[in-house]
Amino acid sequence: MSPELGPLLAILFAAGRAVTPAELARGLGRPPEEVARLLDELTARLADGELGVRLERVAGGVRLVVHPDHAEAVRRALRPRPPRLSRAALEVLAVVAYHQPVSKAEIDAARGKDSAAVLEGLLERGLIEAVGKHPRRYRTTPRFLELFGLESLDDLPPPPGGGLPAMRD
């Protein structure tokens, strides 16, 4: 095992979030190619689950997560609860994720109801962000990708019915 894996693991552990390759290169004082090699080595080292964690690539970065072989033990010990999102929040997130960047008027039209309060809640949670001014438009954030375990928006599942959710006029 490379001695550089210790500092790499320390950064990933301390971050508690996905860390970009650029952040890792800066922290380790290593070129990006070497960081990529170290990440590949760490991924292989953790693959068997012996150490209880694995490396997951999400939101343009990497993070440590519980290895699936140990998920039940973690659940029994900690009983983690995923953040609760209301049906309205999930509806708005779906519209934003599949149609971004999208305006509030477009979101309201797709849902058939006002989305102002839901948008504010999603903004506060860091799952969406506002872009542009006139009209203000919304898109998902890296936190959204992390929460849903996606590496990029390309990993979104196809919407029910095979097409994008319809936008009402």
Same domain, 59 and 42: yes
Residue 23 belongs to what H/E stretch? helix 21-28
167 is a domain residue: no
**CB 24 within 8 Å of CB 35:** yes
Same domain, 70 and 96: no
Same domain, 94 and 71: no
Same domain, 65 and 114: no
128 is a domain residue: yes
What per-residue confidence (pLDDT) applies to 80? 59
**Residue where one domain finishes, among candidates 55, 78, 101:** 78
**Residue where one domain finishes, among candidates 53, 78, 103:** 78
Same domain, 139 and 115: yes
- For every residue of 33-61, DSSP letters joined together read HHHHHHHHHHHHHHTT-TTSEEEEEETTE
CATH number of the domain within which 142 lies: 1.10.10.10
Containing domain of residue 105, as a range? 87-155
Question: Dmax over Cα atoms in the chain, in whole Å?
Answer: 59
- Which residues in the chain show pLDDT less than 50? 164-165, 168-169
Helices (H), 48-159: 71-78, 87-99, 104-111, 116-124, 142-147
Same domain, 71 and 108: no
Same domain, 96 and 147: yes
What per-residue confidence (pLDDT) applies to 75? 82
Q: What confidence tens digit (pLDDT) does each residue in 92-108 have?
A: 999 999 999 999 999 99
How many residues are listed for the chain in this entry?
169
For residues 46 and 65, give the distance between their C-alpha atoms in angstroms, rounded to a whole number: 11
Q: What confidence tens digit (pLDDT) does each residue in 13-26 have?
A: 999 899 999 999 99
pLDDT over 70, % of the chain: 91
Hey, how many other C-beta atoms are within 10 angstroms of the C-beta on 128?
26
34 is a domain residue: yes
66 is a domain residue: yes
What per-residue confidence (pLDDT) applies to 134? 82
107 is a domain residue: yes
Split into its structural domains, the chain has a count of: 2
What per-residue confidence (pLDDT) applies to 65? 93
What per-residue confidence (pLDDT) applies to 153? 92
